[in-house]
Amino acid sequence: MQTEGQEPMLDWASAARSFPGEQESGDALFVGSFSGGTLVGLIDGLGHGPEAASAARAAVEALAQSSSDPVGVLLQRCHVALARTRGAAMSLLSLREGVLSWVGVGNVEAVLLRGSSTETPPRIEHLLLVGGIVGQKLPRLQIRSVEVAAGDLLAAASDGLRPDFGSRIDRNASPLESSRAILAESEVVDDSLVWVGRIKVPSP
């Protein structure tokens, strides 16, 4: 399954695949706009199947309540919402007025590739992940904020994908082409979800 979208601050696309034999995926994507910014959330419900999907849906519903809140507040809200589920790994990326704030719990990887970089291989900034399970055991969060610019590329992926997926992205490809390419290289060990977004001119 592939999806594309346009938000005030970015153009994006995603590609996803359910674990073979399952009717629904335990991985979920949330993309929501708010005044001056955009929130992106990737959720990986533990395991796969209906219970994993239920946890992922609960997180999406919690994020949709107010996507403009700080990422730390949003993760705490999801933690409460997932208390009666098996829990999830998740990463949040919030773009607001040219600044990216991101936080991750579990193994949903995220990377930032600078659009102006000419280094080979390109310099990649990684989301700092901390161990834990949203809904069961929430660790002390490590929230980072960095300035971003038009042309910068963001990518995030659930587990089962190559850990070096960021270095293999073609900067000249569209977000949809990149998300498809990353997914095609992944191992079929769980549900898989990839999201890629290219930052447009930040809001003033």
- Model confidence over 116-140: pLDDT tens digits? 655 555 678 888 889 999 999 999 9
Residue 9 has pLDDT above 90, yes or no: no
| Residue 171 region by backbone torsions, left for phi larger than 0, else alpha for psi between -120 and 50, else beta | alpha
pLDDT, residue 119, reads 58
Provide the percentage of residues in the chain whose pLDDT is more than 70: 89
Q: Which residues are CB-contacts of 187 (< 8 A; sequence separation ≥ 6)?
A: 160, 161
Q: Are 126 and 63 in contact (CB under 8 A)?
A: no
Whole-model pTM?
Answer: 0.90
Relative orientation angle of helices 50-64 and 71-81, to the nearest 10 degrees: 140
Using an 8 Å Cβ cutoff, are 45 and 86 in contact? yes
Q: How many residues does the chain have?
A: 204
- In the chain, the amino acid numbered 112 is L
For 192, the token pair is 């898989």
Measured distance CA(93)–CA(80) in Å, rounded: 19
CA 24/CA 74 separation, integer angstroms: 25
Q: Give residue 166's pLDDT.
A: 76
- Please say if the pLDDT value at position 98 is more than 50: yes
Q: Which helix (H) or strand (E) holds 52?
A: helix 50-64
* Topology classification of domain 2-199: Phosphatase 2c; domain 1 (3.60.40)
Residue-wise burial string across 15-39, b where 16 or more C-beta atoms lie within 10 A, e elsewhere: bbbbbeeeebbbbbbbbbbbeebbb
The domain segmentation of the chain, as residue ranges, is: 2-199
Q: Which of 41, 130, 31, 127 is nearest to 81 (CA)?
A: 41
For the segment 35-56, what is each residue's pLDDT rounded down to a tens digit?
889 999 999 998 878 899 999 9
Q: Is the pLDDT of residue 191 over 90?
A: no
Q: Which of 123, 3, 129, 108 is nearest to 56 (CA)?
A: 108
Place of tokens 């979208």: 5
